[in-house]
Structure 1
Amino acid sequence: MRSFAILAAAALLLNGCQTVSDVFTEPQPNIGPCPTALSLYDAHRIVELEDGIVAYDNVGFTGEILAVRSLCNYYGERPIIANLELDMAFGRGPAAEGDSHVYEYFVAVTRRDIAVIEKQVFPITIRFQAGEDRVYLTETIEAISIPRATAETSGVNFEILTGFELTPEQLAFNRSGQRFRVSAGQD
């Protein structure tokens, strides 16, 4: 389990006499909507370019967050607990060296349009088999704890944002509107 799950379990135990299993086995309808979960447009893809030159032959490793899904539960006055799934695609272009690469992506909980409450960065190692230039997978993060001021505070006040950790050059490339998708140059 990731550290979000540990924080969530600790928060649940500190906020009442029920056990964690009691809370999760006694589901009640949510009193409000789940926080919006999305991938930031500027950070939902990563393209490594050899020498920073924008040309297909210079494309190294690439990655893209294809979809973000989230479910959540409210438990009385406790924090909202959300689970997150990220569909991701990774590519190995002509300039990529090696059969594996470590990418870093982040998950941040924010007060909607105001401030980041917590952000965590997760490394993910992708291994490409011989002759393979693309890998698709789903990453799951369980038990993201979203603090609330009162039991009436709704999930609509929060967002769960995801994206890749980017260099300033990679961010500028994404913002320019240029693209090399995971499947660039393929049928």
Structure 2
Amino acid sequence: CNLAEQLEVCSGAGARERELQLELDAVEMAKNEIIRLSREYGDERRDEINSVVSRYVSAITEGKYDLAEVDETGKLRVQTEGREVLPEALSRGTLEQFYFAFRMAVGSIVTQEEPLPLLLDETFAMYDDDRLRQTLRLLAANGSQTILFTCQRREQKLLEELGIAYHMIEL
């Protein structure tokens, strides 16, 4: 009788393990499908994304960089005055600007039907004042609602200097 009870308990544990394994397999399949779709979408939209990224980078850097694109392997390619520059040779601030341009480009392409609000948290910490001015102009022209979190007053000062309307909530 005790052996029968133990056998029942053990077979119940095996059933639970099989159930969990099925769930893990389903999650793995979903993950692989998301990765496949992401790559497929990236391949289909790479040229469009790179074109928009280059426009944003050119606007932020006032034309210093002609081209900024991500190739199929995910490597950043940058050109200035027709010559390629290694990303390792760029300053942290410039790389942050390229990353911002990439996020803006993908966001504008993915949300074409209905623009979403843009949330930025200390995004401009590594920007110099000139590039921050250009970025704030770009954001103002973008037309999307932008919520900027910062512990600096620099953004407020430049928004006022540029005559860009904003609402400030200080915590």
The TM-score normalised by the length of structure 2 is 0.27
Q: Which structure would you say has the larger Rg? A: 2
Higher strand share: 1
Higher helix share: 2
Higher RCO, 1 or 2 (CA under 8 Å, sep at least 6)? 1
The TM-score normalised by the length of structure 1 is 0.26
